[in-house]
Structure 1
Amino acid sequence: MKRKPFITEAEAIKEDFKGRTNYWLCNPEVADAKGLQICRAVLPPGEGHNFHRHPELEEVIYVLQGKVEQWVEQEKQVLNPGEVAHIPADVVHATFNDSDEDAVILAILSPAASHGPATVDVFDDEPWKSMRG
């Protein structure tokens, strides 16, 4: 089925997931996307996406609003609006909002589909479970 080229937030796939709200704006379910996925995620204060990896997906996280504590492997940096983290496929990473206001990020992943699990949680494994101390 051919999908239209313009997607509004009302047409996005809304997903309440682990304390945050994801708006899937582009993926095979929303658009004719074969090479990428775009997700706008709202992270309330104290929420985030704990340590995980995407075995087959490369990702860019772009901060739209607020600030996030971004981890890529064992490196941490606070990202502000307009700043980006690039995560190669199968690299452990995490995003946390430790501020008092919502943070909004745009996650861009490629390709649009994977053959195995899209996300593998590792936050209960060392060294990740001790990383934030």
Structure 2
Amino acid sequence: MSEKHVFITEVEALKEEFKGRTNYWMCRPEVCDLKGLQVCRAVLPAGEGHPFHTHPELEEVIYVLEGKVEQWVEDSARILSPGETAAIPAGVVHATFNPTDEDAVILAILSPGSSEGPFAVDVSDQEPWKSLRGQA
């Protein structure tokens, strides 16, 4: 095994600009040899986020590294601070928003490392999701 497959720097990560945030894929099949995990460090700028979506085949843990996020799991929301997590089963609708005026940084850990179907399905334009956040 080469050293690159063991130690991955942010420079070596797969960088993705996506809907108002920057994702750094630190672990996924394109980056390292691990097959069972995906790890993404995501920077959520002030006021931005990842609208309501689901990962049909992937479980996910969202761990807050810096700042605060408004984390939704189905129709429940909670403000998460550094060191706090949300555990999301496969197929469950969720969303992550940064309601503050400073960047928030999260670590998203997904399993398995790949899936047969779509990675994510955006449901933010469907009810109840498109109007749910206004009710929080």
Query: In the aligned structure 1, how far is the partner of 2:133 from the partner of 2:109?
Result: 25
- Show the counterpart of 1:48: 49
User: What amino acid is aligned across from residue 69 of structure 1 in structure 2?
Assistant: E
Deviation sequence 1:24-60 (CA, Å, 0-9, x none): 0000000002101000000000100000000000000
User: Displacement of 1:9 after TM fit?
Assistant: 0.6
The one-letter amino acid of 1:67's match is K
Cα distance in structure 1, aligned partners of 2:18 and 2:79: 23
Percent of paired sites with the same residue? 74
Q: 5+ residue gaps in structure 1?
A: none
Superposition TM-score, scaled by structure 1 size: 0.98
Secondary structure at the counterpart of residue 129 of structure 1: helix
Q: CA deviation at 1:4?
A: 2.0
- The offset of 1:115, in angstroms, is 0.2
**Please, what is the CA RMSD of the aligned residues?**
1.1
Identify the residue that residue 115 of structure 1 maps to in structure 2. Answer: 116
**Which residue of 2 is the match for residue 38 of structure 1?**
39
Moved over 3 A (4+): none
Q: How many aligned positions are there?
A: 133
In structure 2, the residue matched to 1:4 is 5
Taking the aligned partners of 2:48 and 2:96, their CA distance within structure 1 comes to 9
Q: Which residue of 2 aligns with 1:81?
A: 82
